[in-house]
Amino acid sequence: MTEPAEATPAASCRDLVKLYRTQTSVVRALNRVSLDIAQKSIVAVFGPSGSGKSSLARILAAIDLPDGGSVEVGGTALGNLGARARRRLRRKRIGYVCADPQHNLLAYLDAEEHIELAVRMRGVKQPRSTHKEILEILGLGHRLHHRPAQLSGGEQQRLSVAAAVSGRPALVVLDEPTAELDRSSAETLLEQIAVLRSRGSTFVISSHDPSVAEMADEVVRLTRGSRVA
């Protein structure tokens, strides 16, 4: 019997291990981490600095591969893909935002053009009215033709999220999205993410911010690379 599409996890990991080697030692950033991420959920990967949050986020976003274990996105095993196929999957099915908004944006594109670029890269069609709708949800409806240098840090991060969710990717991974924001801006962004979830994407948010854990459907707690209860 075929498993219903909604029952297939948006992403799943089994016994993930991630190692970083220095000249004198090997750091185990992830130590046999397993999890299933339900479709259309918001999952917080929560823990202190150095707990492995960003390592897990980059693996789920198909940017890095683990040194052990397995990871699937939408039922596709990333370990079975070559570099080119993994880039294609990431482009079409995954949205990713890192903590520094300047690394997510292109200086020569305005807000609407960032949305259009993301949609084209996913190979889907999205009317321009939807571009504006997404920007309005994120409080950027009046910034349609502003470039990153004309936006505040909080607005740049919200534009990064807008581009990440455009074209309805199956999985959106946000790595420390509130790290560079003041408390008010962070709370506003989290409220907007909760609204965006209704558009059908699954969100994984790595953070040490308790507010992220409070708004999530599930919290994955990491300490020194291991998952804890």
Could you write out the three-class secondary structure of 73-107?
A: ECCEEHHHCCHHHHHHHHHHHEEEECCCHHHCCCC
What pLDDT score was predicted for residue 2?
Answer: 46
Answer yes or no: is 125 within a domain.
no
Q: Which domain holds residue 208?
A: 5-101+166-228
Here the CATH number for the domain that contains residue 216 is 3.40.50.300
The SS3 of residue 143 is helix
Task: Please name which of 145, 136, 134 lies closest in space to residue 169, comparing C-alpha atoms.
Answer: 134
Answer yes or no: is 161 within a domain.
no
Answer yes or no: is 149 within a domain.
no
Are 140 and 89 in contact, with CB atoms under 8 Å apart? no
Answer yes or no: is 114 within a domain.
no
Domain total for the chain?
Answer: 1
Answer yes or no: is 94 within a domain.
yes
Burial class (CB in 10 A: 0-12, 13-18, 19+), 102: middle
Here the tokens at position 90 are 């990431």
Answer yes or no: is 129 within a domain.
no
Query: Running along the chain, 229 residues long, what does each successive block of 10 average in pLDDT?
Result: 64 95 89 95 93 94 94 91 92 90 89 94 89 93 95 92 93 92 89 89 93 93 92
pTM to 2 decimals?
0.91
What pLDDT score was predicted for residue 7?
Answer: 73
What pLDDT score was predicted for residue 1?
Answer: 44
Here the tokens at position 93 are 């099915």
What pLDDT score was predicted for residue 148?
Answer: 95
What pLDDT score was predicted for residue 149?
Answer: 95
Answer yes or no: is 144 within a domain.
no
Answer yes or no: is 22 within a domain.
yes
